Amino acid sequence: MAKAKIKIEMIHDVVCSWCPIGYSNIKAALVRLEDQLEAEITFLPFELNPEMPEAGEGVDLHLMRRNRWNREQWLRYREDLVETAKKAGLVYDFNKRTHYWNTVKAHTLIHYAESFGKQEQINEALVHEYFTEGMNVDDTQSLLGVAESVGLDRMETQAALLSVAVAVRLQIKRERAREFNVRNVPTFIFNDVEVVSGSNSTDYFVRYFTYWLANMPAQKNILRVR
């Protein structure tokens, strides 16, 4: 019996702490249902800090300022976040991940990698390099190193990061994300219409997909994944 196919668009930011957790949980749910369901995940950019300068800003200072936290509140949040990430199979090291950075270049790289079918590989590599190793995701040479690690050509990728045409196509994806009036990430768009926000648990996504499989219209049993 053919598997059902579902299209998943993930609206995210590269420096969003909760986005890798949601991504990891949804991937784990898909593994549980791999005999029934096949998914293609693509990414839509959402910049949490579009005006972030080249120097970036310390994660602690940024969150304390934005949320009006004192240092004790920040440390409590950090501890809870690290533990939640660990449960999702991720390592968040705040001794290395010290800053928020501008993410335009990183989103451009993910978009460019899509044409080679490597967008998920790039996303996963960026998650490791940023959250575990503390990489500056606004640094071109570091991004080119990530591109090479998944088999992309360094010079061609560098040209893509500077390309006006690539930037235009990335803007189309930004506008696509805005269609859903998203205010928080991660947000997942299923089959163009259904919206689920938040880094929900693996069990949540298993229940969601199980319900979808049981209730989808017969004519949509096999959906074209584009």
pLDDT per residue as tens digits for the range 150-169:
999 999 999 999 999 999 99
Task: State the residue for tokens 């190193």.
Answer: 145
* Domains held by the chain: number: 1
Does residue 219 register a pLDDT over 60? Answer: no
- For residue 11, how far is the Cα from the chain centroid? 7
Over range 65-80, report the average pLDDT.
Answer: 97
Residues 6+ apart with CB under 8 A from 115: none
Nearest C-alpha neighbor of 70 from the set 81, 60, 59: 60
172 assigned to some structural domain? yes
Burial of 113 (0-12, 13-18, 19+ CB in 10 A): buried
Which token pair is 58?
Answer: 């310390």
Per-residue confidence (pLDDT) for residue 217, from 0 to 100: 58
225 assigned to some structural domain? no
110 confidence band (pLDDT: 50, 70, 90):
very high
Residues 6+ apart with CB under 8 A from 75: none
- Residue 55: CATH number of its domain: 3.40.30.10
d(CA 162, CA 38): 34
Q: Containing domain of residue 79, as a range?
A: 4-220
d(CA 18, CA 143): 21
* Share of residues in the chain with pLDDT > 70 (%): 95
Which token pair is 62?
Answer: 């940024």
d(CA 167, CA 177): 15
22 assigned to some structural domain? yes
146 assigned to some structural domain? yes
226 assigned to some structural domain? no
176 assigned to some structural domain? yes
Does residue 136 register a pLDDT over 60? Answer: yes
66 assigned to some structural domain? yes
216 assigned to some structural domain? yes
The predicted model scores a pTM of: 0.93
d(CA 21, CA 25): 6
